[in-house]
């Protein structure tokens, strides 16, 4: 047995009062005159014994009555749950899980409706004289304030399904921040998906009593479009495209003859039928071609119930009209790069001597080729570093005349391994990395006994785990490598294009190498984004940088968002800051001119419907020793009763009130009707 208000037990010290009265009975004795005193002794003994019994019974009844009343005020109860009551004065926080997994249902209805009804009943049982918090997955600013129960009922009616999904650690931190270190009771109503509720990651706050209220899903079957991607990031007009996709089956049953649809620019383009085994993924692809340049929108979709938020996946891609290529050179450089790009009108090639270079024009280039510069100025090093960090593509070719000391300064800034000493071994290139992006679609058929370029001398460059080697000699010298750097990349040669170093510039591989560098620089870097992630999104080739007002629009959803604009050395980027909450394709416009199209998709973390049952939750908190956590498992009809019993236990104070009245009645009876024959 425990007490809700144990401080009242100090009132038991009042039991000393009837004891004192009993020991020091100052009642005056009456004189009784007897004509015959022969029986006086016998009468005295008889009345004294009866009087002692009466006084003792009255004392006991008074003490029991006081004890019963004191215990009633202390409100004793037999606890049902394991939770120990804190000193929160009844203030509470209720979290309702309104993520997309609550689209699921069980025998009582959809999980979202059940959670809402449970929350309404919970609010009815909370104390009305203090304020409480209502929290959902959106973590809105208004939810950080405490409100009376009547106000929270209105807020609860407005809670709708949300694209956000919060892990348990974030929920607990958010609740704690609202109460600023003060004790409170936390009630978490959720389906408790295993992907979201990681109990090992939480910090146990002993000032808080946590009650977990699981709403179990009826089934865990779900099929989702997990992801969509392009293997080839470069898109060209009238070129066959391959959109790859992954369909995920998180359920326990195999899915047969699932139709996967491709919609392109609002028109049904193609479909495939697939089968997905239980608890597995299935990757496939759909081929199509596009006959126009500009931005294109796509959607991959399936049909699956009851959870439907992950049945569609949006994507975008951009077909460039031209790719901007700039060559920076000094005297004595090879002219073969200029000749190569002049054959392909898709590239808008330009060149500039290093001492006549306008650094401001670099940010508008897709690919910059720095060809055999002997010296890099500090301004050029800083500009090229920022260009790459902002997403630019850079090709570096060392000088044939001087050691690459100045080039190494730039490589150091870019966190790329520096070139070493000059190696003068004549070796043939023995390996081309055909699986890497640069050469992935250059060759067809088997690569046997191919005549590869010969290297006569090169600057020492070894294989490094941070880079992708493309051309490798017999003694493991890397002639061409790719280095990723933040959003951009750097192609680094360890040879000059001068024929004293190699015959690479005369070889048939020379042209596709530089073409692929150019094609890859025209990549759309955001074919698909996740809602809820504060992505910094670069806008491709924004011309007007004076008017920095953009609109992110979707006519279907009647959405028009003005994002934050972030100027960079390589152009303009925007940040959405969770301003978009519905999946779809969104146009980015400036002065009614289309700048970009963004594909925003819901996070797939909730696609796995496997959840903790009430038994699993209890076992989990027992294993982790979370003594201030308890599980309340109840259906809608019995929730109020079960909640009262769980919170207050089996209440005994009414019984002690009755016992107190009973003992007072016994005292009255003893005083009124139990009298010795002689006083």
Q: How confident is the model at residue 393 (pLDDT cuts 50, 70, 90)?
A: very high
The partner residues of 326 in beta bridges, in order of sequence, read 350, 368
State the CATH number of the domain containing residue 587.
2.60.40
Each residue's pLDDT tens digit, 80-123 = 555 444 545 689 999 999 999 998 988 888 999 999 999 999 99
User: Rounded to whole angstroms, what are the CA distances from 230 to 234, 244, 287, 592?
Assistant: 9, 6, 11, 29
Q: How confident is the model at residue 524 (pLDDT cuts 50, 70, 90)?
A: low
- Average pLDDT for 324-345: 84
Mean pLDDT in the chain? 85
Give the separation between CA 462 and CA 485, rounded to whole angstroms: 18
Residue 87 lies inside a defined structural domain of this protein = no
State the CATH number of the domain containing residue 290.
2.60.40.10
Residue 364 lies inside a defined structural domain of this protein = yes
| Residue 37, pLDDT score | 57
Is 209 in the same domain as 283?
no
Q: How confident is the model at residue 33 (pLDDT cuts 50, 70, 90)?
A: low
Is 301 in the same domain as 355?
no
Residue 13 lies inside a defined structural domain of this protein = yes
Is 72 in the same domain as 110?
no
Task: Give the distance, in angstroms, between the CA of residue 242 and the centroid of all CA atoms in the same chain.
Answer: 30
User: Rounded to whole angstroms, what are the CA distances from 330 to 354, 378, 395, 412, 480?
Assistant: 6, 17, 15, 22, 21
The partner residues of 95 in beta bridges, in order of sequence, read 135, 188
User: Rounded to whole angstroms, what are the CA distances from 25 to 29, 507, 608?
Assistant: 11, 124, 79
User: Rounded to whole angstroms, what are the CA distances from 526 to 368, 385, 592?
Assistant: 21, 22, 21
Q: How confident is the model at residue 669 (pLDDT cuts 50, 70, 90)?
A: confident
Q: How confident is the model at residue 421 (pLDDT cuts 50, 70, 90)?
A: very high
- Which of 55-69, 359-373, 603-617 is the least confident region? 55-69
- Average pLDDT for 339-354: 88
Is 187 in the same domain as 310?
no
DSSP tag of 243: E
Task: Give the distance, in angstroms, between the CA of residue 530 and the centroid of all CA atoms in the same chain.
Answer: 11
Give the separation between CA 471 and CA 493, rounded to whole angstroms: 9
- Average pLDDT for 28-38: 57
- Average pLDDT for 453-477: 91
Rg (CA), the chain: 40
What SS3 class is residue 297?
Answer: strand
Give the separation between CA 59 and CA 480, rounded to whole angstroms: 103
Is residue 410 left, alpha or beta, with left meaning phi > 0 and alpha meaning psi from -120 to 50? alpha
What is the β-pairing status of strands 109-110 and 427-432?
unpaired
Contact 502, 453 (CB under 8 A): yes
Please determine, for residue 55, whether its predicted confidence score (pLDDT) is greater than 80: no
Is 412 in the same domain as 423?
yes
Is 613 in the same domain as 502?
no
| Closest CA relative to residue 369, chosen from 404, 413, 324, 403 | 324
| Closest CA relative to residue 205, chosen from 167, 242, 169 | 169
Is 420 in the same domain as 337?
yes
- Average pLDDT for 637-649: 71
Residue 402 lies inside a defined structural domain of this protein = yes
User: Rounded to whole angstroms, what are the CA distances from 123 to 93, 117, 126, 147, 665?
Assistant: 10, 10, 5, 11, 41
Residue 679 lies inside a defined structural domain of this protein = no
Question: Helices in 322-371 by DSSP H: which ranges?
Answer: 336-342
Q: For 207-217, give one letter per residue: b (16+ CB within 10 A) or e.
A: ebbbbbbbbbb
Is 381 in the same domain as 483?
yes
Is 316 in the same domain as 327?
no
Is the bond preceding 306 in cis, omega lying within 30 degrees of 0? yes
> Looking at 275, 303, 320, which one is the last position of a domain?
320
Residue count (the chain):
679
Q: What string of DSSP letters covers 471-538? A: EEETT-BEEEEEEEETTEEEEEESS-SSTTTBSGGGSTTHHHHHHHHHHHHT--S-S-EETTS--EEE
Q: What string of DSSP letters covers 134-180? A: EE-TT--GGGGS-B-HHHHHHHHHT----S----HHHHHHHHHHHHT
Is 658 in the same domain as 642?
no
Is 188 in the same domain as 243?
no
Q: How confident is the model at residue 394 (pLDDT cuts 50, 70, 90)?
A: very high
- Which of 21-35, 53-67, 419-433 is the least confident region? 21-35
Is 357 in the same domain as 467?
yes
Contact 243, 267 (CB under 8 A): no
Q: What string of DSSP letters covers 53-116? A: HHHHHHHHHHHHHHHHHHHHHH-EEE--SSPPP-S-TT-EEEEE--SGGGG-EETTEEHHHHHH
Each residue's pLDDT tens digit, 547-597 = 678 999 999 999 999 999 887 655 688 899 888 989 999 999 998 899 899
- Residue found under tokens 């599980």: 631
Angle, vertex CA 584, rays to CA 309 and CA 487, nearest 5:
110
Residue 245 lies inside a defined structural domain of this protein = yes
Q: At what angle do helices 653-673 and 40-74 cross, to 10 degrees?
A: 160
| Closest CA relative to residue 597, chosen from 391, 299, 301 | 299
> Looking at 291, 320, 349, which one is the last position of a domain?
320
Give the separation between CA 54 and CA 478, rounded to whole angstroms: 110
Query: Which of 329-343, 445-459, 464-478 is predicted most confidently?
Result: 464-478
Contact 576, 613 (CB under 8 A): no
Please determine, for residue 678, whether its predicted confidence score (pLDDT) is greater than 50: no
> Looking at 320, 353, 387, which one is the last position of a domain?
320
pTM value > 0.75: no
Contact 184, 605 (CB under 8 A): no
Residue 415 lies inside a defined structural domain of this protein = yes
Residue 97: domain span: 92-219+609-648
Give the separation between CA 482 and CA 181, rounded to whole angstroms: 51
H or E element, residue 257: strand 255-264
Is residue 584 left, alpha or beta, with left meaning phi > 0 and alpha meaning psi from -120 to 50? left
| Residue 407, pLDDT score | 92
Give the separation between CA 384 and CA 315, rounded to whole angstroms: 31
| Residue 150, pLDDT score | 92
Please determine, for residue 273, whether its predicted confidence score (pLDDT) is greater than 70: yes
- Split into its structural domains, the chain has a count of 5
Give the separation between CA 271 and CA 287, rounded to whole angstroms: 10
What is the β-pairing status of strands 529-530 and 593-601?
parallel
Q: Which residues contact 513 (CB under 8 A, 6 or more apart)?
A: 438, 439, 470, 480
Residue 84 lies inside a defined structural domain of this protein = no
Question: Helices in 326-446 by DSSP H: which ranges?
Answer: 336-342, 378-389, 405-413
Please determine, for residue 542, whether its predicted confidence score (pLDDT) is greater than 60: no
């Amino acid at each position: 047995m425990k007490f809700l208000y144990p401080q009242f037990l100090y009132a038991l010290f009042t039991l000393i009062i009837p004891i004192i009265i009993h020991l020091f009975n100052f009642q005056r004795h009456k004189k009784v005159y007897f004509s015959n005193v022969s029986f006086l002794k016998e009468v005295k003994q008889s009345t004294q014994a009866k009087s002692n019994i009466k006084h003792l019974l009255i004392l006991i009844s008074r003490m029991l009555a006081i004890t019963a009343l004191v215990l009633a005020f202390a409100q004793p109860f037999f606890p049902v749950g394991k939770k120990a009551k804190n000193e929160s004065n009844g203030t509470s926080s209720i979290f309702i899980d309104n993520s997309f997994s609550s689209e699921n249902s069980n025998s009582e209805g959809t999980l979202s409706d059940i959670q809402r009804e449970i929350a309404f009943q919970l609010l009815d049982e909370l104390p009305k004289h203090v304020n409480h918090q209502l929290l959902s997955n959106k973590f809105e600013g208004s939810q950080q304030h405490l409100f009376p129960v009547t106000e929270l009922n209105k807020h609860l009616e407005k809670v709708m399904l949300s694209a956000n999904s919060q892990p348990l650690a974030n929920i607990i931190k958010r609740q704690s921040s609202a109460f600023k270190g003060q004790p409170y009771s936390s009630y978490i109503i959720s389906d408790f998906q295993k992907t979201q509720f990681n109990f090992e990651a939480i910090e146990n706050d002993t000032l808080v009593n946590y009650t977990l209220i699981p709403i179990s899903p009826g089934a865990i079957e779900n099929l989702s479009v997990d992801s969509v991607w392009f293997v080839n990031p470069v898109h060209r007009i009238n070129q066959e495209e391959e959109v790859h996709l992954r369909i995920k089956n998180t359920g326990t049953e195999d899915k047969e003859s699932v139709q996967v649809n491709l919609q392109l620019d609002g028109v049904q383009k193609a479909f495939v039928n697939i089968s997905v085994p239980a608890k597995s993924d299935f990757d496939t692809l759909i081929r199509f071609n596009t006959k126009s340049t500009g931005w294109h929108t796509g959607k991959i979709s399936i049909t699956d119930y009851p959870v439907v938020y992950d049945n569609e996946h949006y994507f975008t891609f951009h077909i460039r009209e031209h790719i901007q290529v700039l060559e920076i050179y000094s005297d004595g450089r090879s002219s073969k790069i200029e000749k190569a790009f002049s054959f392909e009108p898709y590239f808008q090639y330009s060149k500039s001597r290093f001492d006549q270079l306008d650094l401001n024009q670099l940010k508008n280039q897709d690919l910059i080729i720095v060809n055999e510069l002997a010296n890099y100025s500090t301004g050029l090093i800083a500009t090229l570093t920022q260009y790459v960090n902002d997403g630019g593509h850079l090709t570096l070719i060392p000088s044939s005349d001087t050691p690459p000391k100045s080039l190494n300064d730039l490589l150091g800034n870019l966190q790329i391994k520096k070139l070493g000493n000059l190696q003068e071994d004549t070796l043939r290139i023995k390996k081309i990395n055909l699986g890497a992006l640069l050469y992935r679609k250059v060759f067809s058929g088997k690569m046997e006994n191919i005549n590869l370029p010969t290297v006569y001398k090169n600057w020492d460059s070894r294989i490094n785990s941070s880079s992708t080697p493309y051309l490798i000699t017999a003694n493991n010298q890397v002639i061409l490598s790719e280095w990723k750097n933040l959003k951009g990349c750097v192609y680094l040669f360890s040879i000059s294009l001068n024929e004293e170093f190699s015959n690479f510039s005369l070889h048939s591989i020379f042209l596709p190498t530089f073409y692929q560098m150019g094609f890859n620089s025209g990549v759309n870097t955001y074919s698909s984004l996740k809602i809820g992630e504060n992505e910094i999104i670069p806008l491709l080739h924004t011309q007007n940088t004076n008017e920095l007002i953009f609109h992110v629009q979707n006519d279907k959803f009647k959405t028009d968002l003005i994002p934050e604009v972030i100027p960079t050395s390589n152009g303009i980027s925007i940040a959405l800051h969770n301003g978009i909450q519905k999946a779809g394709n969104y146009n980015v416009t400036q002065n009614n001119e289309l700048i970009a199209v963004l594909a925003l998709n819901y996070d797939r973390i909730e696609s796995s419907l496997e959840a903790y049952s009430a038994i699993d939750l209890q076992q989990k908190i027992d294993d982790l020793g979370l003594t201030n956590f308890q599980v309340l498992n109840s259906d809608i009809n019995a929730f109020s009763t079960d909640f009262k019993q769980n919170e207050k236990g089996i209440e005994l104070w009414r019984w002690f009130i009755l016992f107190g009245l009973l003992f007072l009645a016994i005292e009255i009876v003893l005083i009124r009707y139990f009298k010795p024959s002689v006083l």
